[in-house]
C-alpha cells in the first residue's frame, strides 16, 4: 500500500527566508507525486506535480520540488517566502498507470507553515 | 474556466438523519473523486468514478456511505443515518482522466449534532 510521511507538523520561517518542506513516500513502483496547498477554509490548490522525466519540477507561486528515487523523497522548496505563503501544505502520492489503486491519492498529514514578518 | 463546485458549503444535521452532498466537476473531466478531511484522520480517499467504469469504492468507511454519478458529470455523496464521527469536510475533485492531476472543490463542511 502506498503511504506518505510529512515529518514536520509545523514550520515557522521569517519572510524572505528560504523554505524546504519534507515529504517521504512509500510505493512499490514509479509514483505520481503532488504538492497541494490549503489556505484556511479553502479547498486544495495544486502547486506542482511529478509524473516522469526531469526530477526537478517547477510549480506555481515560485515553488519547486525535487524527486529523489534513492531517498523516496519529494521535498518542496522556495528560495524566498512571502507572508501570503502561510498555509497548510500537503504532499500526495498516486499510483502510476497500471498500478493498483490507480487514480486515488494518498495524502500526508500536512505541514502548517507560519511566516513571521 | 469554472472549477469544481460543491454544495452546500455548510451542512448541519441531526444524528440519524440522511444527507446528500453534491459535486459539479470541471467540464470535460472524466474522473471524479470524493475525499474526507477530518482532524483525527487527515485527508482520506472515499470513492472515485472513471467514465462508465464501475466506481472504486474501496475507501468508503461503512455501508451508510454511497455515491452516484449521473450522466458522467454531477455526483452525489449520500450518508445515511449520520453519526457524530461523520462530521468532517467532504472534498470533491476531478481530473481529465484517472491518474492525471486532480482539481479540488471548496468542500462541504458537515456537522452532525
Q: How many CB pairs under 8 A join A and B?
A: 54
Give percent of chain A with pLDDT exceeding 70. Answer: 94
The residue behind cell 500526495 is: A92
Distances (CA, A) of B7 to A27, B20, B25, B40: 34, 9, 12, 24
The string of pLDDT tens digits covering residues A52-62 is: 888 999 999 99
pLDDT recorded at residue B107: 96
The string of pLDDT tens digits covering residues A22-43 is: 999 998 777 899 999 999 888 8
pLDDT recorded at residue A28: 74
B48 contact residues in A (CB cutoff 8 A): 103-104
Residue whose C-alpha is closest to residue B104's, from A54, A115, A34, A113: A34
10-residue mean pLDDT profile of chain B (113 residues): values are 91 98 95 92 92 89 95 94 97 88 95 98
CB B45 within 8 A of CB B98: no
B104 contact residues in A (CB cutoff 8 A): 36, 43-45
Q: What residues in chain B have their Cβ under 8 A from chain A's Cβ atoms?
A: 4, 31, 33, 35, 42-43, 45, 48, 50, 56, 58-59, 91, 93, 95, 98-99, 101-107
Distance CA A53, CA A31 (A): 12
CB A33 within 8 A of CB A50: yes
Amino acid at each position: 500500500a502506498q503511504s506518505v510521511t510529512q515529518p514536520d507538523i509545523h514550520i515557522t520561517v521569517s519572510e524572505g527566508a528560504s523554505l524546504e518542506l519534507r515529504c517521504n513516500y512509500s510505493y512499490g513502483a514509479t509514483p505520481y507525486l503532488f504538492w497541494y496547498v490549503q489556505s484556511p477554509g479553502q479547498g486544495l490548490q495544486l502547486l506542482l506535480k511529478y509524473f516522469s522525466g526531469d526530477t526537478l519540477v517547477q510549480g506555481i507561486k515560485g515553488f519547486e520540488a525535487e524527486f529523489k528515487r534513492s531517498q523516496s523523497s519529494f521535498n518542496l522548496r522556495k528560495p524566498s517566502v512571502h507572508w501570503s505563503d502561510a498555509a497548510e501544505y500537503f504532499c500526495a502520492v498516486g499510483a502510476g498507470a497500471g498500478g493498483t489503486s490507480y487514480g486515488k491519492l494518498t495524502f500526508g498529514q500536512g505541514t502548517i507553515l507560519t511566516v513571521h514578518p | 474556466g469554472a472549477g469544481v463546485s460543491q454544495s452546500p458549503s455548510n451542512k448541519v444535521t441531526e444524528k440519524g438523519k440522511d444527507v446528500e452532498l453534491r459535486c459539479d466537476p470541471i467540464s470535460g473531466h472524466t474522473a471524479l473523486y470524493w475525499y474526507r478531511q477530518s482532524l483525527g484522520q487527515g485527508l482520506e480517499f472515499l470513492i472515485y468514478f472513471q467514465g462508465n467504469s464501475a466506481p472504486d469504492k474501496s475507501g468508503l468507511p461503512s455501508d451508510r456511505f454511497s455515491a452516484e454519478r449521473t450522466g458522467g458529470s454531477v455526483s452525489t455523496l449520500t450518508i445515511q443515518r449520520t453519526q457524530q464521527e461523520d462530521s468532517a469536510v467532504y472534498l470533491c475533485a476531478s481530473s481529465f482522466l484517472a491518474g492525471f492531476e486532480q482539481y479540488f472543490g471548496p468542500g462541504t463542511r458537515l456537522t452532525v449534532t
